[in-house]
Amino acid sequence: MTTEPAIGGEETLRTAIAAELGRARHRSIALTESVDDSDLTRQHSPLMSPLVWDYAHIGNQEELWLVRDVGGLVPLRSDIDELYDAFQHARADRPALPLLSPDEARAYVRGVREKALDVLDRTRFRGRRLVAGGFAFHMIAQHEQQHAETMLATHQLRMGEPVLHAPAPPSASALPETTEVLIPGGPFTMGTDTDPWALDNERPAHTVFVAPFLLDTTPVTNAAYAEFIEAGGYRRREWWTETGWAHRSRAELRAPLFWESDSDGSWWRRRFGVVEPVPADEPVVHVCAHEAEAYARWRGRRLPTEAEWEKAARHDPIDGRSRRYPWGAAEPTAEHANLGQRHLRPAPVGAYPRGATPAGVHQLVGDVWEWTSSVFRGYPDFAAFPYREYSEVFLDSGYRVLRGGSFGTDTSMGRATFRNWDHPIRRQIFAGFRCARDVSPGEWA
């Protein structure tokens, strides 16, 4: 079903979309203006594009979809499509390309945005599925925000003095009453048909049966993770999967990325250029899926499946329906979740009691992406829309699903149907995890 807003609704939607595009642009400008040209064009890590590539790529996607496709306008620069096509050049090779200079990139994205806003002004949000309900515009705003998170990860990898600043997150105000809760077994609706901004991989809505399981009420903290290290977590093969152990050996993993230990055994971390003691009660971040699984096995736990995560985050056992957010239908505010780069770090566990589920699961959304045990697959009857390269080409290829968003994820992707994915070995993303376990016979009868 397409949504066909009334005329008054159409103006409201147009204003809301313009605001979302503006918010995304404000953020990408902040991420690129905070460093000099050499930092924009440099390769901070072979895992990442130069910042100036992300910036021009944001403009290029906007040109392809909003200016050319929706607007039917002539290209501003058809000569650069190939340079900014993510499938043409690996991230590591991008610094060597004849990219637009920082000033050229700024002029380009400004020019594209001017045209895109003209298109927005004269587009009726009906008819073609691409524009129904304003979808293409919101897709492009989400695309820019996703690259803003990627640029934030590049900032974290950048060496040098701090250039980004943000207030500290709230402190813990109400710890969950228990360390784990029972999520009852039975069916729930996973994915969505009706969320206007849901991307192709979140569709369609379908019923999934989930066996009863226990889920931790918080993500795993740095203190808990440090205990795992202390217990020989990185030295004891029995807690790792075969693939995980092989990777831990090859990559010589010894602690989360960006951690260093002191001679007295205490842990320090580098965070956006600041070296600081690792805070005990924040969710651990910058671990790969293999580290998460080893930790879970050590604790007699496992990672939740993607379906378990989504059921815990959305299923309302009273009316049987799936909600948009763990706390209900209200749009995320600063009280609900640590999203949107409002802070440059995860908040301590217990900092967002208002964002908890009715069953008492805290911080499912925000703070850190949570690794799941699920490989990225299409839901039954998945259909790529509007392009195969957003999701389809990544399905069934060994990518692991991450859920819930991080402190660096925009609120527009805070909905509990949103799916992220990456290689299980990746650690530069803002990823942590929480543990789950099966219900043992006789327990929670």
Binding site for ligand AVJ (CB under 6 A): 143, 146-147, 150, 390, 420-421
Q: Which is nearer to ligand AVJ, 123 or 420 (CB)?
A: 420
CB of residue 46 to ligand AVJ, shortest distance in Å: 16
Nearest by Cα to 438 from 180, 237, 242: 180
89 belongs to an annotated ligand binding site: no
Task: Establish whether the linkage from the previous residue to 204 is cis, with ω within 30° of 0.
Answer: yes
Distances (CA, A) of 359 to 81, 249, 281, 306, 444: 48, 40, 22, 18, 15
The H or E element that residue 437 is part of is strand 436-438
CB of residue 329 to ligand AVJ, shortest distance in Å: 24
CB of residue 328 to ligand AVJ, shortest distance in Å: 25
Q: Which is nearer to ligand AVJ, 150 or 156 (CB)?
A: 150
343 belongs to an annotated ligand binding site: no
* Phi, psi (rounded to 5 degrees) for 214: -110, 135
143 belongs to an annotated ligand binding site: yes
Report the DSSP beta bridge partners of residue 275. Answer: 270
Alpha helices in 255-334 (DSSP H): 289-298, 306-314
Query: What beta strand segments (E) does 85-230 contain?
Result: 180-183, 186-190, 206-210, 213-216
Q: Which is nearer to ligand AVJ, 313 or 402 (CB)?
A: 402
DSSP class of residue 194 equals: S
92 belongs to an annotated ligand binding site: yes
CB of residue 150 to ligand AVJ, shortest distance in Å: 6
93 belongs to an annotated ligand binding site: yes
* Phi, psi (rounded to 5 degrees) for 269: -140, 155
Q: Strand, coil or helix: what is 94?
A: helix
Q: What angle is formed at CA 328 by the lines to CA 331 and CA 125, rounded to 5 degrees?
A: 50
Nearest by Cα to 409 from 366, 347, 372: 366
Cα 81 from Cα 434, distance rounded (Å):
40
CB of residue 388 to ligand AVJ, shortest distance in Å: 12
Both tokens assigned to 9? 């609704």
Q: Which is nearer to ligand AVJ, 298 or 390 (CB)?
A: 390
Q: Quick check: 191 and 203 in contact, CB under 8 A?
A: yes
94 belongs to an annotated ligand binding site: yes
CB of residue 364 to ligand AVJ, shortest distance in Å: 18
CB of residue 96 to ligand AVJ, shortest distance in Å: 21
Q: Which residues fall in the annotated binding site?
A: 57, 91-94, 143, 147, 422, 426
Q: Which residues fall in the annotated binding site for gamma-L-glutamyl-L-cysteine?
A: 91-94, 422, 426
Q: Which residues fall in the annotated binding site for Fe cation?
A: 57, 143, 147
